[in-house]
Structure 1
Amino acid sequence: MTHYFISDLHLDAQHPKMSNGFFGFVKNLQESGSAKAESLYILGDFFETWVGDDYQDSLSEQIKCSLKELSDSGVAVYFMHGNRDFLMGEQFANQCGGTLLDEDTIITVGNDRALLMHGDSLCTRDIEYMKARQLLRNPLWQADFLSKPMDARVAFAAQARSESQSSQQMKANDIMDVTQADVDSEMTKAGVVRLIHGHTHRPNTHSWEFNGEARERIVLGDWSDSKGWMIRWEAGELPSLESFEF
């Protein structure tokens, strides 16, 4: 039985090729045969924006149906909030037949354990973003935002996205990557030697030693109109970071 991990698809109606690539990926998991998928973990930024579970369009409805079919076939589906879809709630997860995970989640695969994160909370050198994150993750702010009319929420999300893109162009690349000291702190706190996350769009497998302990950090890549990224992990084997065309 194999566990799959993806993140940073940033799905929206403007990128139908990417959406179709995702639907094909899900179909392949359903038809995986002897390499049957046991679970699919979606580690944040599944959507480009998410303004509440009451938002509906044809793409979100297709996604719900696709993931519900996957869940009904026996594959467990898990969601984690990203910095784009942190308003995703239990209602959406339930409609997909899935489960919404805590921000930091420890899983066990065979005899191995790993810490799962989206990854944005590790980018602590980006002080501007961390301040915004503190506000946006505040339950009071979220409740107030979700009480607003849908058109106001959609307009806010579009403006926030535009401002974020402008801000990123002005920042040095290194401050938008994870801070190693925080990586080690979170892994020590969780008692793990392996961390899986997305967010930075810098797919790679990093290995190092910390206090004499071998550690590993696997970073998922972001999807495009022709390529996706995943981690494939089977009990007793090492997790494998892979890209694939569609």
Structure 2
Amino acid sequence: MTTLFISDLHLDPSRPQITELFLRLLRNEAQQAQSLFILGDLFEAWIGDDAPGAIGTAVARGLSACARAGTEIGFIRGNRDFLLDASYARSCGMRLLPDPCVVTLTGIPTLLLHGDLLCTDDLAYQRFRAGSRTAAWRESFLARPVAEREAFARQARAESQRHQQGVDAQITDANPQAVLDMLRLYGVPRMIHGHTHRPAVHELPDGDRRYVLGDWYTQGSVLRIDGSGWNLQQL
């Protein structure tokens, strides 16, 4: 049986073709798979389970149909959808996973994470991440009216784009030492993550390996694990 990994779809009304590509994956290949893991940033922005919007509603229908077909679906929150919670996950038939977490794939213990924790050189982002993951920040934000949350999300996206353009690309990539430290902390030889939008398979010391999933801005990216091996491919 096949296990599929995807991340960084950034589903948004401005890219309907990407939403349809994902829904087509759910209707076809994903229903034949044993498991589907989504490693964060499924949506361009998620302002709360009480405001899924048309895309969130369509995605929930597609994921729940996939789950009813027998596919196990796991989800790790990303930096764009860290507010996605148990209510929406239940409507999708998917299980929320901690970031990071370890699963065994083809007999190999493997660390799964969104990937932003590895970007330790991006100090401004790490400060925002730490502050926005507190219970107090979450409660305060979700108490705001939907329109206010939508405005905040638009502003946050614009600031993120300016930040990405204004810093060296190496700063927003995974720090090599952070990768090694994370693998040693969990005592595993393999890692799968997204976030950086730099799809690749990295050979590491001691035969360890790091798989980086690609984004879905113009095409799909999927890691397929089956009897033929671990294959990072485009859709």
Structures share a fold, TM > 0.5?
yes
Using the TM superposition, give the Cα deviation of residue 29 of structure 1 relative to its aligned residue in structure 2, in angstroms: 2.1
C-alpha separation in 1, matches of 2:198 and 2:216: 11
CA distance in 2, matches of 1:113, 1:137: 27
- The one of 130, 134, 141 equivalent to 1:138 is 134
For residues 172 and 60 of structure 1, do their structure 2 counterparts lie closer, same or farther at Cα, with a shift above 3 Å needed?
A: same
Moved over 2 A (4+): none
Return the TM-score normalized by structure 1. Answer: 0.93
**Which sections of structure 1, spanning at least 5 residues, go unmatched?**
none
1:241 match: 232
Does residue 65 of the first structure (1) align with residue 30 of the second (2)? no
Contact in 2 for aligned 1:30/1:73 (Cα 8 Å) = no
Superposed displacement of residue 38, structure 1: 0.4
The residue aligned with 1:24 is 24
Give the CA deviation at 1:191: 1.0
Does residue 74 (structure 1) correspond to residue 65 (structure 2)? The answer is no
Alignment of 1:217-232 (within 5 A): 217-225=210-218, 227-232=219-224
Whole-Å Cα distance in 1 between the matches of residues 30 and 74 of structure 2?
A: 15
Q: In the aligned structure 2, how far is the partner of 1:214 from the partner of 1:56?
A: 42
Indicate the SS of the match to 1:12: coil
Contact 1:9/1:224 (<8 A) preserved:
yes
Distance 1:189 1:28 in 2: 37
What is the CA RMSD across the aligned residues, in angstroms?
1.1
TM alignment of 1:8-47, pairs within 5 A? 8-30=8-30, 36-47=32-43
Q: Deviations over 1:27-67 (max 9, x none)?
A: 12255xxxx30010000000000000000322111110000
- Check whether the contact 1:77–1:98 (CA below 8 A) recurs between aligned residues: yes
CA distance in 1, matches of 2:223, 2:228: 12
- The sequence identity of aligned pairs, in percent, is 40
Number of matched residues?
235
Matches within 5 A, 1:188-227: 188-209=184-205, 213-225=206-218, 227=219
CA distance in 2: counterparts of 1:224 and 1:70, whole angstroms: 23
Partner residue of 1:93? 89
For 2:182 and 2:229, the matched residues in 1 are separated by 21
- Aligned-pair distance for 1:237? 5.0
